[in-house]
């Protein structure tokens, strides 16, 4: 894909985030969509392309009254929205549509109008993972951690520092769920969830949503907001079974999607002003920093523990507070994208001064999928 | 209301040989006749070279502890926390999720790279699960 040919011209989250007992999941899609439409100064009838995950495009399009000529229902977990951005950019460039709306919403906490996730007993996961007592992401996502720690000499304290640093960012964000400062000792003394991870190393469970609107860079100049250009994109999938990853020392999907996006953008790591790495659990930023090539994996724990990703550090990471402290409705990728867009617009609550390039990296499932978007505010 | 039951595998035509094997006290893997790749989970072709000429064989049942978590909460139906959810690397190459039995479910007892051997746990008259225990000697 050619860089900077497509831009984000509308971006918004749901009016409320956190616990929203008065709206169904579908209504949260609509709330986010209407906020993004207003942000872009558009009407619903201007939308001719639509993408969403978990809910089907037909469900959300009908509810909103959108009549699209291009749809994408790619649903590969929490990074689905990174893939939607990539696909939408390609579709706009190919002339299949002009203005794409991407929505995410999840009633992750209140569970209103949300189908429970289930694993069929005759699926491969149902036969070869579920019988051993896996029960939701906390019991599965951390399975690679002990191997990763042993291979690279990563410590429990370093993995705890991920949560501490992100809480520092969250403290600057009025919309963050968790804002009180925490220490490494607080993390290591919090309730055990799935050893080696404790409560404060696991993402929040909340309700919310977000939406993006993309159009061609040429048209983007006429919109009310400062355009945020799609500079580079990457995507991949590996396996739906965490036990079947090629290795626990890295994520193949990360190592495919990340470098693809960097190559397409034509940037080096030193060019990155702002970074989002989807942090469903505390090890994700370490995998991300290593797999995206910022540094060798063995240095990632120390890099974060030393404060390099905290406010004022040289590589601002997860500046909204992340899935650990900002919000996590189940598919957090949309919120990472929203924060990248805010940073590129220059309106983030914890704004990184003069940030020009933002990398937004997502995970789907338990390292099952990945999508990476490089944004810039300069064309 | 009945307690939710422990998850039980339901074999498919492609995996039936595996579950027939565990019932007979064997851990069965597949090997590609064309490129010799050993793979898991079961499928009637080689995921490495796409050959449909593959054979089922009885694996050694030996391996080592590749990684694990000790799950505290929430616990899956039929499990009493804390319990380990492990990934075992078999001597033949493939890895599989499993439980570790005959071993305290603690970080001190569950050492990465410890040698393991397969054991079989009968869930009901249809399904026997392969699990692992510390290897003898």
A46: DSSP letter: G
CB within 8 Å of A103: residues ≥ 6 apart? A29, A32, A33, A36, A50, A51, A52, A60, A209, A210, A211
Give dist(CA A50, CA A102) in Å, integer: 6
Q: How far is B11 from chain A (nearest CA, A)?
A: 6
Q: What are phi and psi of A102, to 5 degrees?
A: -115, 125
Flag whether residue A188 sits within 8 Å of chain B, measured between CB atoms: no
**CB-based contacts of A117, cutoff 8 Å, min separation 6:** none
pLDDT at B1: 46
Quick one: pLDDT at residue A143?
98
Interval A281-300: pLDDT, tens: 999 999 999 999 999 999 99
Name the average pLDDT for chain A.
97
| Torsion, Cα of A140, A145, A148, A154 (10° steps) | 170
pLDDT score, position A118: 85
Q: Is the pLDDT of residue A244 over 90?
A: yes
Nearest-Cα residue of chain A relative to residue B10: A122
Question: pTM of the prediction?
Answer: 0.97
pLDDT band of A149, cuts 50, 70, 90? very high
Q: Check B96 against A128: CB less than 8 A apart.
A: yes
Radius of gyration of chain B (CA): 16
- Mean pLDDT across A38-46: 97
The stretch A236-258 carries a mean pLDDT of 98
Considering only residues 76 to 135 of chain B, which have any Cβ-Cβ distance to chain A shorter than 8 Å? 76-79, 82-83, 85-87, 95-99, 107, 112, 123, 129
Interface test with B, best of A149, A150, A243, A287 (most B CBs within 10 A): A243
Which whole number is the average pLDDT over A243-258? 98
Facing A133 at nearest CB: one of B40, B41, B85: B85
Residue ranges in chain B whose pLDDT is less than 70: 1-3, 137
Residue carrying the six token digits 């617009």: A345
Count the Cβ atoms, other than its own, within 10 Å of residue A255.
19
Q: Which of A124, A132, A196 sits opposite B99 (nearest CB)?
A: A132
Q: How far is CA A284 from CA A129, A175, A208, A254, B72, in A?
A: 21, 23, 22, 10, 21
Query: pLDDT tens across A179-236, in order?
Result: 999 999 999 999 999 999 999 999 999 999 999 999 999 999 999 999 999 999 999 9
What percent of chain A is modeled with pLDDT above 90?
98
| Angstroms from B123 CA to nearest CA on chain A | 10
* pLDDT single digits (tens) A100-122: 999 999 999 999 999 887 899 99
Alpha helices in chain A (DSSP H): 25-40, 57-64, 80-94, 124-128, 137-140, 145-152, 156-170, 184-189, 217-220, 252-265, 284-291, 297-305, 322-325, 333-345
């Amino acid at each position: 894909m050619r860089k900077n040919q497509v831009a984000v011209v509308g971006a918004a989250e749901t009016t409320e985030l956190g616990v929203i007992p008065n709206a169904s999941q579908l209504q949260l899609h609509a709330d986010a969509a209407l906020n993004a439409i207003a942000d872009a100064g558009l009407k619903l009838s201007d939308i001719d392309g639509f993408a969403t995950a978990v809910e089907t495009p037909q469900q959300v399009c009908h509810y909103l009254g959108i009549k699209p000529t291009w749809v994408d229902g790619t649903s590969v977990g929490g990074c689905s929205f990174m893939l939607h951005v990539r696909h939408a950019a390609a579709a706009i460039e190919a002339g299949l549509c002009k203005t794409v709306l991407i929505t995410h919403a999840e009633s992750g906490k209140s569970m209103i109008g949300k189908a429970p996730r289930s694993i069929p007993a005759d699926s491969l996961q149902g036969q070869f993972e579920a019988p051993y007592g896996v029960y939701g992401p906390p019991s599965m996502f951390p399975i690679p951690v002990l191997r990763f720690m042993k291979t690279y000499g990563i410590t429990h304290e370093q993995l705890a520092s991920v949560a501490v640093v992100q809480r520092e960012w969250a403290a600057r964000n009025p919309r963050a769920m968790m804002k009180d400062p925490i220490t490494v000792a607080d993390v290591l003394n919090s309730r055990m969830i799935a050893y080696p991870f404790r409560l404060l190393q696991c993402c929040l469970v909340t309700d919310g949503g977000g939406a993006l609107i993309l159009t061609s860079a040429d048209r983007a100049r006429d919109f009310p907001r400062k355009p945020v250009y799609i500079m580079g994109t990457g995507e991949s999938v590996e396996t739906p079974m965490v036990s079947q990853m090629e290795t626990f020392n890295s994520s193949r999907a990360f190592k495919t999607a990340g470098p693809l996006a960097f190559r397409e953008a034509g940037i080096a790591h030193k060019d990155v002003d702002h970074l989002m790495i989807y942090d469903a659990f505390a090890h994700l930023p370490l995998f991300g920093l290593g797999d995206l090539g910022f540094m060798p994996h063995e240095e990632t724990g120390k890099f974060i523990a030393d404060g390099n990703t905290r406010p004022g550090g040289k590589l601002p990471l997860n500046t909204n507070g992340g899935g650990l402290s900002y919000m996590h409705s189940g598919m957090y990728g949309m919120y990472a994208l929203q924060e990248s867009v805010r940073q590129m617009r220059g309106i983030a609550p914890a704004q990184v001064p003069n940030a020009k390039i933002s990398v937004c990296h997502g995970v789907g499932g338990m390292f099952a999928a990945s999508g990476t978007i490089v944004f810039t505010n300069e064309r | 209301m009945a307690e939710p039951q422990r998850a039980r595998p339901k074999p498919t035509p492609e995996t039936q040989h595996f579950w027939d094997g565990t019932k007979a006290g064997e851990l069965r893997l597949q090997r590609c006749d064309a490129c010799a790749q050993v793979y898991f989970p079961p499928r009637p072709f080689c995921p490495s070279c796409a050959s449909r000429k593959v054979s089922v064989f009885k694996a050694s049942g030996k391996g080592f502890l590749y990684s694990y978590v000790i799950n505290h909460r929430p616990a899956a139906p039929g499990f009493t926390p804390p319990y380990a959810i492990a990934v075992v690397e078999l001597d033949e190459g493939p890895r599989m999720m499993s439980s570790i039995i005959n071993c305290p479910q603690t970080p001190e007892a569950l050492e990465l790279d410890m040698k393991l051997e397969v054991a079989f746990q009968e869930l009901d008259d249809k399904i026997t699960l392969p699990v692992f225990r510390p290897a003898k000697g």
